[in-house]
Amino acid sequence: MMLKIKRVPTVVSNYQKDEADEGRRVGGCGRNCLNKCCIPGAKFPLYAFKKLNNTLGDKGFPRHENQEAPVAFLDSLILGEWEDRMQKGLFRYDVTACETKVIPGQFGFIAQLNEGRHLKKRPTEFRVDKVLQPFDGNKFNFTKVGQEEVLFQFEASEDGEVQFHPNAPIDVENSPSVVAINVSPIEYGHVLLIPRIFESLPQRIDRESFLLALHMAAEAGNPYFRLGYNSLGAFATINHLHFQAYYLAVTFPIEKAPTKKITNLDVGVKISELLNYPVRGLVFEGGNTLEDLSNSVSDACICLQENNIPYNVLISDCGKRIFLLPQCYAEKQALGEVRAELLDTQVNPAVWEISGHMVLKRKKDYNEASDENAWKLLAEVSLSEERFQEVNALIFGAITCGVDKGNATLLEDPDVKPRPREEVGAINKSSRHGMVSATQECLVLQ
């Protein structure tokens, strides 16, 4: 049985459409791309952040000897380079002309009317029931992006000091991480962070890449600059490892939601549960170092990936708070369990929508936007309470077992007792489905 879901894809590069139209393979392409046919001799700006001495400061991001200069500089670098690409006409539409409003009501959901985002798109097939899928170099990936879409390289400095080189060569052998524009932006300054771009990494989080994303949030130092991650099965559109980020000068509803502490880790990380919010999720904050916080979240993400549970991540508050949100919307779509009125909106609830920034494609939906309608959509995304607790047990079991890798262990909390390992093992056996049963060959047309 093959189930197909019609889904509006997101074109993130001007060369993505060319791939669909012409089926081109890389090799003497003449498009000034990032692959081996064009990359020799290429140079890009390089921002090297201070990775050493990454103890968290009082404000929760790494201390710099001269903090104001590097923080302000990365912020201005992102925006300056992004605006330069806007002046050059590289975006598919002017996102600054999109109507945006805060929806009246208790939660303050943000609605944007973005009719240009879903025009002239060609479908790409991804399985909806597999969070981990191998990288396929024949499909669009970020080595096929035009060099003009790349803003700068983003790497740890070798000497432990912040550095900026306006014209640094690309070191293909060491596979640099790069920041590029999203040509179909959701908001001002919408960029993509692509870790170790030449390693052909599929869309799956690892410790190194997640720490890189936290460094970017901390270095930017702007609370209105957030990074997001979508796994496959949770509306990632490209199976090449990347994070998204943009600026929006309002507080997201998820950032205002109350939380209840579940436990503390012995590395200083506090884990809480979201309350009074339509999507169930976990909040990670604190940590003795930035790396402690990063490892705790990335190990939880790795656990979800290995158990085939799709999820989204929001990196908030300059990297000090991280929301981990397992979801099941695509599974419900495949099973025909989502109401037609919600499907008709063509809204794919990924990290930004789940956080409360509703990107709407129809004028009708924008005009009728309300707390109630936003809640209805997001409630379909959330795991049930029972399933959420099962997933939490898997996560805490993974964190506990991670002690052999130098990871955190759970501290005893008088209010919350983590589930015993025997129970975690039973859950692993009984609830490993996570998504649509693998006996059904489910594909999602993105």
CA 296 to CA 280: how far, in whole Å? Answer: 19
Our separate counts of H helices and E strands in the chain read: 12, 18
Residues contacting 416, CB < 8 A, separation 6+: 261, 262, 263
Strands, E assignment, 240-386: 243-247, 259-264, 269-274, 282-286, 311-316, 321-326, 357-360
CA 151 to CA 253: how far, in whole Å? Answer: 30
CA 33 to CA 143: how far, in whole Å? Answer: 7
Nearest residue to 325 (alpha-carbon basis) of 295, 346, 353: 353
The structure tokens listed for 262 are: 């579940």
CA 313 vs CA 61, 161, 169: distances in Å:
19, 29, 32
Residues contacting 288, CB < 8 A, separation 6+: 55, 56, 267, 268
Report the sign of the C-alpha dihedral through residues 131, 132, 134, 140, in that order: positive
Residue 433 annotated among the catalytic residues of the structure: no
The structure tokens listed for 91 are: 């975006």
Distance of CA 442 to the CA centre of its chain: 23
Q: Which of 118, 242, 357, 433 is catalytic?
A: 242
Distance of CA 306 to the CA centre of its chain: 18
Long-range contacts of range 80-86, CB-CB < 8 Å, 24 or more positions apart?
81/45, 81/151, 81/152, 82/151, 82/181, 82/188, 82/189, 82/190, 82/191, 85/148, 85/149, 85/151, 85/181
Contact 296, 269 (CB under 8 A): yes
So which residues are the catalytic ones? 242
